[in-house]
Amino acid sequence: ETGVTQTPRHLVMGMTNKKSLKCEQHLGHNAMYWYKQSAKKPLELMFVYNFKEQTENNSVPSRFSPECPNSSHLFLHLHTLQPEDSALYLCASSQATLGGHTGELFFGEGSRLTVL
């Protein structure tokens, strides 16, 4: 139990579906992150919310849409995905420094996404 909870743990969706991944942190942190982990690839930073504002999107395709309604919750909205988007999506939180630098990351267990 890392204090970061992700749901659902597994998701199978068709290319025309719309779904959302949810992340909740109980650690009082001020920054939350979405990372994508594909087989044989490095962890890819997708989005950063620092002090509740999105600060980094790393040129992620628009079929991925993040939402951070408050500092404890983070969503990743998915629509018209491609099979190559199948991966493990990891949410993490940290206590960022006043300068915005990343502190120790606490990861959730991840949401395993399969796009058919």
Partner 1 sequence: QQPVQSPQAVILREGEDAVINCSSSKALYSVHWYRQKHGEAPVFLMILLKGGEQKGHDKISASFNEKKQQSSLYLTASQLSYSGTYFCGTEPGDSWGKLQFGAGTQVVVTP
User: Which residue, among 56, 57, 51, 91, has the nearest Cα to 71 in the 3D structure?
Assistant: 51
Q: Pick out residues in 83-112 that bind partner 1 (CB under 8 A).
A: 90, 96-97, 99-110
| 95 token code pair | 């206590």
67 binds partner 1 (CB under 8 A): no
- Of 10, 39, 42, 70, the one binding partner 1 (CB under 8 A) is 42
Per-position x/- string for 1-40, each x denoting binding to partner 1 as judged by CB under 8 A, each - no binding: -x----------------------------x-x-x-----
